[in-house]
Amino acid sequence: MQTVKGSCHCKRVEFEVDLINGHQNIRRCNCSICSKKGAVMAGVTLDNLRVTRGADVLSVYQWNTKIAKHYFCRVCGIYTHHQRRSVPTE
Ligand SMILES: [Zn+2]
Protein backbone atom coordinates (compact mmCIF):
# COMPACT_ATOMS: atom_id res chain seq x y z
CA MET A 1 0.00 0.00 0.00
CA GLN A 2 1.31 3.43 -0.98
CA THR A 3 -0.32 6.73 0.03
CA VAL A 4 0.14 9.60 -2.42
CA LYS A 5 -0.93 13.21 -2.05
CA GLY A 6 -2.43 15.40 -4.73
CA SER A 7 -3.89 18.84 -5.09
CA CYS A 8 -5.54 21.17 -7.55
CA HIS A 9 -3.51 23.98 -9.14
CA CYS A 10 -4.31 26.68 -6.57
CA LYS A 11 -3.75 24.20 -3.67
CA ARG A 12 -7.09 24.97 -2.06
CA VAL A 13 -8.05 21.32 -2.58
CA GLU A 14 -5.73 18.62 -1.29
CA PHE A 15 -6.33 14.89 -1.14
CA GLU A 16 -4.65 11.60 -0.28
CA VAL A 17 -5.09 8.32 -2.11
CA ASP A 18 -4.12 4.86 -0.91
CA LEU A 19 -2.85 2.90 -3.92
CA ILE A 20 -3.12 -0.82 -3.19
CA ASN A 21 -0.79 -1.76 -6.05
CA GLY A 22 1.32 1.39 -6.15
CA HIS A 23 1.22 2.97 -9.60
CA GLN A 24 0.44 -0.31 -11.41
CA ASN A 25 -3.15 0.45 -12.36
CA ILE A 26 -2.71 3.91 -13.86
CA ARG A 27 -4.83 4.30 -16.98
CA ARG A 28 -6.57 6.70 -19.31
CA CYS A 29 -10.34 6.68 -19.63
CA ASN A 30 -11.80 7.09 -23.12
CA CYS A 31 -15.15 8.59 -22.10
CA SER A 32 -16.09 11.93 -23.67
CA ILE A 33 -14.92 14.14 -20.79
CA CYS A 34 -11.81 12.20 -19.76
CA SER A 35 -10.48 12.09 -23.31
CA LYS A 36 -10.79 15.89 -23.52
CA LYS A 37 -9.00 16.31 -20.18
CA GLY A 38 -6.25 13.88 -21.14
CA ALA A 39 -5.90 12.93 -17.49
CA VAL A 40 -4.38 9.70 -16.29
CA MET A 41 -6.04 8.10 -13.29
CA ALA A 42 -5.77 5.39 -10.72
CA GLY A 43 -8.87 3.48 -9.67
CA VAL A 44 -9.39 3.20 -5.92
CA THR A 45 -12.38 2.53 -3.71
CA LEU A 46 -14.02 5.52 -2.03
CA ASP A 47 -12.60 4.66 1.39
CA ASN A 48 -9.09 4.90 -0.08
CA LEU A 49 -9.58 8.55 -1.09
CA ARG A 50 -9.59 11.37 1.45
CA VAL A 51 -10.13 15.03 0.60
CA THR A 52 -7.95 16.54 3.33
CA ARG A 53 -8.50 20.20 2.49
CA GLY A 54 -10.91 22.35 0.51
CA ALA A 55 -13.92 20.06 0.21
CA ASP A 56 -16.00 23.24 0.33
CA VAL A 57 -14.46 24.55 -2.91
CA LEU A 58 -15.00 21.32 -4.85
CA SER A 59 -17.70 21.41 -7.49
CA VAL A 60 -19.15 18.43 -9.28
CA TYR A 61 -20.00 18.10 -12.97
CA GLN A 62 -22.53 15.53 -14.13
CA TRP A 63 -24.27 14.89 -17.44
CA ASN A 64 -26.31 12.27 -19.27
CA THR A 65 -27.18 9.56 -16.71
CA LYS A 66 -25.85 11.77 -13.87
CA ILE A 67 -24.32 8.75 -12.17
CA ALA A 68 -20.64 9.60 -12.62
CA LYS A 69 -19.43 12.57 -10.56
CA HIS A 70 -16.52 14.59 -11.91
CA TYR A 71 -15.05 16.79 -9.18
CA PHE A 72 -13.03 19.92 -9.84
CA CYS A 73 -11.83 22.97 -7.92
CA ARG A 74 -14.21 25.83 -8.55
CA VAL A 75 -11.41 28.37 -8.02
CA CYS A 76 -8.77 27.10 -10.49
CA GLY A 77 -10.93 24.65 -12.45
CA ILE A 78 -8.59 21.68 -12.10
CA TYR A 79 -10.10 18.20 -12.10
CA THR A 80 -9.13 16.32 -8.95
CA HIS A 81 -11.05 13.03 -9.03
CA HIS A 82 -14.26 11.37 -10.11
CA GLN A 83 -16.66 8.58 -9.24
CA ARG A 84 -17.24 6.31 -12.20
CA ARG A 85 -20.57 5.55 -13.82
CA SER A 86 -19.71 1.87 -14.36
CA VAL A 87 -18.41 1.38 -10.80
CA PRO A 88 -19.83 4.22 -8.63
CA THR A 89 -17.96 2.96 -5.57
CA GLU A 90 -14.68 3.91 -7.28
ZN1 LIG B 1 -7.86 25.03 -7.05
Please tell me the distance between residue 27's alpha carbon and the centre of ligand 1 in angstroms: 23
> Ligand 1 mean position to 7 CA, how many Å?
8
d(CA 45, CA 72): 18
Report the CATH number at residue 26: 2.170.150.70
What is the CA(14)–ligand 1 centre distance, in A? 9
41: left (phi over 0), alpha (psi -120 to 50) or beta: beta
Question: Rg of the Cα trace of the chain?
Answer: 13
What is the mean predicted confidence (pLDDT) over 33-40?
A: 87
Task: Tell me the CB-side half-sphere exposure of residue 61, using CA atoms within 13 A.
Answer: 13
How high is the pLDDT of residue 21?
78
Tell me the residue range of the domain where 32 lies: 2-83
Could you give the number of structural domains in the chain? 1
47 found inside a domain: yes
> 48-57: per-residue pLDDT in tens?
999 999 999 9
> What's the mean pLDDT when you consider all of the chain?
89
In angstroms, rounded to a whole number, what is the distance separating the alpha carbons of residues 78 and 37? 10
* pTM score: 0.84
For residue 86, pLDDT over 80 is answered with: no
Beta bridge partners of 40: 28
Structural domain contains residue 90: no
Q: Report percent pLDDT > 90 for the chain.
A: 49
